[in-house]
Structure 1
Amino acid sequence: MSVPLSPQRDLARQVRQQFVEALAAGLVEVDQVVLDFLTTLLNQTGTQREMQDRRDAWQLYGQRRADWVRATREAWAQASIPRPVGAATALRTAPTPAATGLSLELLSDDVVENKIVASRIALTVLEAVSGSFDALRRRMQAMEGQELVGSDLLRPETFCLLLVEQWVAVGLPRANLQAVVDALQRELAIRAQTAYQQCNDFLGRQGVAQPDIRLRVSRPPGGAAPGVGAADGSRMAALGGPQTQMPAAASRPSQLAPVSAENLAMSAMTPLMRARQRAYGVMGQLRRLMWPGMAPAMPAPPQAGTSMMMGVPTSLHSVMGGAGPGAASIQAPPASAALAQALAQQQSHAQTFYSSMAAMASQAGPVAVVQLVGAVRERSAELKKKASTDSEKAIIEVVALMFQSILSEDRIPPAVRVLFARLQVPVLRVALAEPDFFSDLSHPARLLIDRMGACVMGFDATAIDGSALEAEIRRVVQVIEQYPETGRKVFQLVREEFEAFLAKFLTQKQSTARVVTVAQQVEQRETLTIQYTIELRTLLKDMPVRDEIRDFLFKTWAEVLALSAVRAGAQHADTLAFKRTAADLVWAAGAKPHRSDRTRVIQSLPGLLDRLRQGLALLGMVGEPQEAQIKVLTDVLAQAFVSKTEPIAHEQIEILAQRLENLEDCISEAVLGDMPLDAEAIEMMLGIDVSGLAVIADNDAPVEEAVVEWARQLQVGAWFTIDHNGSTAQVQYVWHSQRQQLHLFAAPDGRNYLLQLRRLAAYLQTGLLTVQDEEGLTVRAARDALAKLDANPERLLQ
């Protein structure tokens, strides 16, 4: 005898039935989009093999498409039928951790591959339908008294997995699905959004409303926010905001003017300045969202506008009341007792959950990522239930949205995303206690996440799994978890430790370490050359010294002194002897009116010439070039015997010798200009093999000083794309010299690129070197959060 369903359970059954019907109806459009995409591929040119593969995929899909649509509809319909509690389920979807706990089991390769493809589709769908899905999920939870189980068809990961499984079941290759996945997931997201909305509308007509939302949407003086028409104004009025009518056409000129002005201003900026400008815009939007009416927390960049910044909408201003002082001085009250207890419990549960998730990430990364996103979403929902104020709810929601964005970043290996997910609760603690987290670009928690994210975006999963970098990020996360009450202090401490780790880790590879050694010696040599030259010019300024001797000392012997100091040391016997040789040469080339002086020159000449030859050989000057140089010097020495000029005082020579002997003690910051930098010269001068090194020296290319300053501010560990001699490579910025005149980039294949400062700036200015993460992980996450809240502001306090 069947037990009658309660009205709520019956209504829930109807919702799932309507959802399946709407989703199945949309499958017709999804099928057509896939066919159109394959047809487009078919008409594109390519190699003979590629064109044949495309034709085979198009023909096979034409034969099996009807079977796939029918099988998918049947699978969805079967999955929507309610099952008795405790019954086994045929679905092989991964359970949601917060709902059923994590269950690990051995899966076949096909099952894992299906899950990976389905997870990718589900992430895209979830991004598009998050607002509607969350609204429906809350309503279903209210009716059924429990959260949606992991295998519920209403979850995107469930119906996406069924769709993928049926594709393979009807004989369509999984590789073909991966070829059309971008077009398929976009269309599926549209149809899923329609299905979710229809279900929400149905429940609304049945009187199942969402919890009461007390929202107040504020606007800048003068009416609606830019771009808000009558429909948007009505929507905001329904949410509790003042209803101000403004014709859309009337608002457009004032809307376009600031945008045009800002575009003009930003077009003249370096990419770094534009990135900062966008970051200021994002932080300003987030600041006004959390604390309306507050004074700016940071100085606005030059000519900053109030219009859209890198996709950040300005129509969302505030959904919260209250004002306060600048963000940096906001004094947040302690978290409510219930929320504090919930945070402590979440921290405790997270340790077990993430340790198990880490094992899954190495085998089925995309599946683990989907579960992480779901866990972040459900954790925020549970914490908001414990929040006692609107401010706490808003902070919880914004932090959750930011972490959803971070975890959806495909360029971060899954294993690292698992580690980042563990920071949700610690960051939430900081955000609750220190509201300037949302507006201060230099907040230690932001800087740490940005730095770790930028360093791993160039690695694939296999390269970083088990690496020292992954181990260091795990250590950083564990330290933060161990000290939950220390706020920004622990983030600051571990960030400094992480920077120290990076400096060592990025240069520990043998090939890179060798290049760093070379580059350090090159800069040291050039710095000393300049210093020796400057000192010689100063000391010889008032001495009667022949031009030939001056040119030799300034252009040649200064390099000998510098190279000897780099190779052997500034106080090595050889270097000291070369320094004394400079003083001896100046004295010997001076006038010799006295017989005793001429006798001393004749006696010391063999030793002087030997030291000169040794120095020239150190520079690689041997054979005829060396003999030619020695002849010039000996001719000058011979003329000194008959010179009628005043002799150089012995005291002046001793001062010269002493100043050269201890010159390194007073070296200043020299500006290294046209450094004679190339691979062959480096190898010859320093005696080090530099194969695999591309040396990109200054070439007098015009470059703006603002870009030079930008080049000085590049962060070690960041990933770039370099275009050198027509060849493009992905490279990581691994080192810069002490005076930032030399900069080293390393590619994963072992190639290295050494650039001088101004040439580096020229590459940045012309786009031959482009940063892969210009915006920063947390700024991009904040921008994504703002976009979602602008589309669905109700979720902030739900």
Structure 2
Amino acid sequence: MTLGSPRDLARLARRTFLDTVLRGTASLVSACAEGARLLASQTAEPGLYARRRELVLAWPASSAPWAQGLNQSLRAALDVLERGGTPSTRPMGLPATAEGANGAPIFSLVDDAVVELDLMASRLTQAVADKAGWQFTDLCSRLRGLLPEDPNPGEAAGDVLKPAMLSRWVLDAWMAAGLTADHWKTLQNVLHDEVAALAEEAYHEANRLLLEHGVAPEIDLRPFIRRARDVGIVQPMAPSPGVGSRVSGGGLGALGAGSNRVTAMGSAGAVSYDETRLMTQAPGLGRVPQAARSQAVLGKLNQVVARQVPGFDPTQLMGQPDGAVALATGLSQAMARTEAAVRQQVDVPVGERPEPAALARELIERKRELKQAAGSPTERATIEVVALLFQAILMEERLPATVRVWFARLQMPVLRVAVAEPDFFATLDHPARLLIDRMGACVMGLAGAVEQPETQGDLLLKEVRRVVQTVEAYPDTGRRVFQTVLVEFEKFLENYFKEGNDASRKGVSLAQQLEQREAYAIQYTIELRKMLEAVPVHEGIREFLFKVWADVLAQSAVLGAPGSDDTRELKQMAADLIWSASAKNSREERNQVLQRLPPLLKLLRQGMARAGLSAERQEQHLKALNVALQAAFTAKSATISPERLREITQRLNALDQLLPEMDDVELDTDTLRDLSGYDSEDLEVVATGGTMPTPAMLAWARELKLGAWFQLDYRDRQERVQLAWQGRNKLLALFVSPQGRGVLFQLNRLGAFLQAGLLVPLEEESLTVRATRDALAKLDADPQRLLN
């Protein structure tokens, strides 16, 4: 395609962005419909469940108008863009600014509903910025290089690339279609995810267009760096929707500016964040932008290489579309000889293998042969950089020596991929890089702790060996084989900590039982509330059943089964208790209660003991029950008819049939209760330490990977622990020490410990990023080595 000017190319990039969004509208609506149906099928508290059902009922009549309205806005923006104009949109219900006689604007109060809509748009804008921010930043940087006279692309009011524009179009079409703000809030998480994913794809397509026309393959991030007045403390994020958003000036923070308001946080959440920041060590907060710092290291590497090798392009895919790798015959043969030599030295008994340092020296010697066989300066530079990376990995003393030797065998497969896919040097999420980082992180804590670990049959180290051999077995597959074995390794880790690791096996089993118990307890409580909603039960009995006996039933269901004899007996006891607490107006009924009461109280005590309640707490609950039973004797309680009592008994006995599958039970931070009373000899539940974590810290807590090692400071102990298990929705996380002590965190407490520096990653950076820093130091000292 022939373009008339850089301005024409910039306009085409914006049109590509809008066209991509327009093509994705149908998929967006379909995904939101599926999300709404999924939410409506899940168990929730009555009010939320009713709102979800209402959304599903309103969807058929409103989804098509929503899609149509969004498409109209996008097409109108395309038309205005073609005419060289500036698309714009105003908040729903906000009138144009009136003017006085002198032309000055007349300000008036804005309706609360309009303010709420503006906040909803701002939250969606922030979600787009969080997911697609780096694509947006790259695109703006390329447009800035294309049109130097336009210093702020993507920031000017009305620029179609601005995330706030897309957010407003989506929200305006939603409201115009007859859907409400309550509908939006009910589906908010789904909307945020789907719109952000669509925006990311659209920015990517616009970037791809510019790259195809040779626009700024290297991104200079310096124009995005803007100094803040206070650089010593990380600004807190808003504690919850509705409190407002604090928008910093510039960079990715500017993406969140859905309006011109900056709302100060005066809530309890903000106070908690300030309190936490005051007691938190600086290193704890400094880890939040770790991904950005790691990406900067890769950017620096590409700049250094590009200065010496102008043709080096870290974003251009030079391999085959299907992932196959095509190499020159000479280079391929040289790599095969090097690979065979390394394999021959490693495939011997442990005691006969060379030390990692000796193996690194041999690989350096063979690097010369590889460079001589290379067909271009870019290939020689790639060979040098990969060699430097693996040289650093082989000298990493925090890795067990046996593992380092196996990592050496990955150098040629990685080189093969790097030659065909230079984005290995540009992105943190390349599967080859992720695989090395994940395996390195998992074995990092074993260094110095185990001598010759491979001879002791450790399954983790055997899996590392299997992964390397699998990669070697498919030399021409490239990225696909790395992606495949990465998925396999992640699945292996889940089973490894559950079954194959002696230190974690018991703790994981206990944590799973505790999570299952919580799921059962939540469901039993919900069903009991439904069952007794219209039954005149004494309040003391009602509270006991909801808060205590639901736990007892849940414990029995975990240890046995929901339909076991023990659990059925406990359900019958609940029915007996309800009957005993109803009004007893005749002497016969009172005598019957007196006869049945001692064995009933004994069984209640046994059930509570089985659920782990202390003797003191059992006495407290029994005293409360006695008050309810006394009310029955004085006829102060309501009477329950025999028919209603039989119905309750039958429903209690059939309770296990009413429960959904445990995989379908929705656990979230609101339903998951305080677990601090469930400590045992083998499992400690963290109940203290830190204060309210920020949303950024909660997001970090959810992103922690299985197998990663940390330094934990808890109960006057400092020790190394490994993340061994994460529950559903990652609301629970289990860390285990090498001695087998399990420490269980709920999500909020985990975020607080990360924030306070009480749980610190043993490694600040991933293995490949540290190796990249080491390679950079060598290249800075001698940049000519890239071509020599």
Counterpart secondary structure, 1:671: coil
Q: Percent identity?
A: 41
Name the counterpart of 1:719: 709
Say whether the 8 Å CA contact 1:675–1:698 is kept in structure 2. Answer: no
**Deviation per residue, 1:717-737 (Å, 9 max, x gap):** 111112223432222222233
Name the counterpart of 1:359: 351
Name the counterpart of 1:206: none
Name the counterpart of 1:344: 336
Name the counterpart of 1:788: 778
Say whether the 8 Å CA contact 1:330–1:436 is kept in structure 2. Answer: no
Say whether the 8 Å CA contact 1:272–1:710 is kept in structure 2. Answer: no
> Bigger shift: 424-433 or 786-795?
786-795
TM-score between both structures, scaled by the size of structure 1: 0.57
**Is residue 281 from structure 1 mapped to residue 296 from structure 2 by the alignment?**
yes
Say whether the 8 Å CA contact 2:584–2:632 is kept in structure 1. Answer: no
Say whether the 8 Å CA contact 2:309–2:377 is kept in structure 1. Answer: no
Counterpart secondary structure, 2:289: helix
Cα distance in structure 2, aligned partners of 1:395 and 1:754: 44
Counterparts of 1:76-475 in structure 2 under 5 Å?
Answer: 258=225, 260=227, 264=231, 267-268=234-235, 273-287=288-302, 319-321=309-311, 334-355=326-347, 359-360=351-352, 368-461=355-448, 463=450, 465=452, 466=454, 467=456, 468=458, 469-475=460-466
The verdict on how the C-alpha distance between 1:642 and 1:520 changes in structure 2, with shifts beyond 3 A counting, is closer
Say whether the 8 Å CA contact 1:593–1:641 is kept in structure 2. Answer: no
Q: What displacement does 1:588 show?
A: 4.9
Q: Say which of 511, 515, 521 aligns to 1:523.
A: 515
Say whether the 8 Å CA contact 1:703–1:765 is kept in structure 2. Answer: yes
The verdict on how the C-alpha distance between 1:511 and 1:501 changes in structure 2, with shifts beyond 3 A counting, is same
Q: What displacement does 1:416 show?
A: 1.5
Name the counterpart of 2:743: 753
Letter in 1 for 2:759: L
The verdict on how the C-alpha distance between 1:338 and 1:512 changes in structure 2, with shifts beyond 3 A counting, is closer
Counterpart secondary structure, 2:225: helix
The verdict on how the C-alpha distance between 1:261 and 1:281 changes in structure 2, with shifts beyond 3 A counting, is farther
**Is residue 653 from structure 1 mapped to residue 644 from structure 2 by the alignment?**
no
Q: What displacement does 1:383 show?
A: 0.6
Q: What displacement does 1:764 show?
A: 0.8
Counterpart secondary structure, 1:759: helix
**Deviation per residue, 1:343-392 (Å, 9 max, x gap):** 2222222222334695355xxx8xx2332222222222211101112221
Q: Say which of 470, 484, 492 aligns to 1:493.
A: 484
Letter in 2 for 1:276: A
Count of residue pairs the alignment pairs up: 512
Counterpart secondary structure, 2:429: coil
Cα distance in structure 2, aligned partners of 1:375 and 1:709: 44
Say whether the 8 Å CA contact 1:285–1:317 is kept in structure 2. Answer: no
The verdict on how the C-alpha distance between 1:595 and 1:548 changes in structure 2, with shifts beyond 3 A counting, is same
Q: Say which of 747, 751, 766 aligns to 2:756.
A: 766
The verdict on how the C-alpha distance between 1:643 and 1:459 changes in structure 2, with shifts beyond 3 A counting, is closer
**Deviation per residue, 1:202-247 (Å, 9 max, x gap):** xxxxxxxxxxxxxxxxxx8999xxxxxxxxxxxxxxxxxxxxxxxx
Letter in 2 for 1:760: L
The verdict on how the C-alpha distance between 1:436 and 1:721 changes in structure 2, with shifts beyond 3 A counting, is same
Say whether the 8 Å CA contact 2:676–2:686 is kept in structure 1. Answer: yes
Name the counterpart of 1:69: none
Name the counterpart of 2:505: 513
The verdict on how the C-alpha distance between 1:676 and 1:321 changes in structure 2, with shifts beyond 3 A counting, is closer
Say whether the 8 Å CA contact 2:317–2:420 is kept in structure 1. Answer: no
Q: What displacement does 1:463 show?
A: 0.4
Name the counterpart of 1:154: none
Name the counterpart of 2:534: 542
Counterpart secondary structure, 1:755: strand
**Is residue 631 from structure 1 mapped to residue 626 from structure 2 by the alignment?**
yes
Structure 2, unpaired ranges of 5+: 1-144, 149-220, 237-284
Structure with max Cα Rg: 1
The verdict on how the C-alpha distance between 1:587 and 1:357 changes in structure 2, with shifts beyond 3 A counting, is closer
Say whether the 8 Å CA contact 1:591–1:648 is kept in structure 2. Answer: no
Letter in 2 for 1:484: P
Letter in 2 for 1:515: G
Say whether the 8 Å CA contact 1:722–1:731 is kept in structure 2. Answer: yes
Counterpart secondary structure, 1:662: helix
Counterpart secondary structure, 2:754: helix
Cα distance in structure 1, aligned partners of 2:408 and 2:568: 59
Cα distance in structure 2, aligned partners of 1:262 and 1:448: 40
> Bigger shift: 724-733 or 603-612?
603-612
Cα distance in structure 1, aligned partners of 2:656 and 2:231: 56
Cα distance in structure 2, aligned partners of 1:602 and 1:772: 63
Say whether the 8 Å CA contact 2:689–2:753 is kept in structure 1. Answer: no
Q: What displacement does 1:277 show?
A: 0.7
Say whether the 8 Å CA contact 1:703–1:761 is kept in structure 2. Answer: yes
Name the counterpart of 1:138: none
Counterpart secondary structure, 2:551: helix
The verdict on how the C-alpha distance between 1:774 and 1:642 changes in structure 2, with shifts beyond 3 A counting, is closer
Name the counterpart of 2:59: none
Cα distance in structure 1, aligned partners of 2:375 and 2:327: 9
Structure 1, unpaired ranges of 5+: 1-219, 224-253, 291-315, 684-688
Cα distance in structure 2, aligned partners of 1:280 and 1:701: 30
TM-score between both structures, scaled by the size of structure 2: 0.57
Cα distance in structure 1, aligned partners of 2:327 and 2:563: 63
Q: Say which of 713, 722, 740 aligns to 1:732.
A: 722
Say whether the 8 Å CA contact 1:591–1:646 is kept in structure 2. Answer: no
Q: What displacement does 1:765 show?
A: 0.6
Q: What displacement does 1:641 show?
A: 8.2
Cα distance in structure 2, aligned partners of 1:536 and 1:387: 73
The verdict on how the C-alpha distance between 1:463 and 1:660 changes in structure 2, with shifts beyond 3 A counting, is same
Letter in 2 for 1:713: E
Q: Say which of 536, 552, 555 aligns to 1:563.
A: 555
Cα distance in structure 2, aligned partners of 1:774 and 1:605: 62
Name the counterpart of 2:732: 742
Cα distance in structure 2, aligned partners of 1:699 and 1:656: 43
Q: What displacement does 1:566 show?
A: 1.9
Counterpart secondary structure, 1:379: helix
The verdict on how the C-alpha distance between 1:271 and 1:434 changes in structure 2, with shifts beyond 3 A counting, is same
Counterpart secondary structure, 1:463: coil
Cα distance in structure 2, aligned partners of 1:554 and 1:735: 29
Q: Say which of 690, 694, 697 aligns to 1:707.
A: 697
Counterpart secondary structure, 1:720: strand
Letter in 1 for 2:701: A
Cα distance in structure 2, aligned partners of 1:376 and 1:653: 76
The verdict on how the C-alpha distance between 1:550 and 1:699 changes in structure 2, with shifts beyond 3 A counting, is farther
Name the counterpart of 2:171: none
The verdict on how the C-alpha distance between 1:701 and 1:371 changes in structure 2, with shifts beyond 3 A counting, is same
**Is residue 532 from structure 1 mapped to residue 519 from structure 2 by the alignment?**
no
Say whether the 8 Å CA contact 1:358–1:418 is kept in structure 2. Answer: no
Cα distance in structure 2, aligned partners of 1:423 and 1:446: 11
> Bigger shift: 737-746 or 720-729?
737-746
Letter in 1 for 2:666: E
Name the counterpart of 1:476: 467
Letter in 1 for 2:329: A
Cα distance in structure 1, aligned partners of 2:331 and 2:318: 24
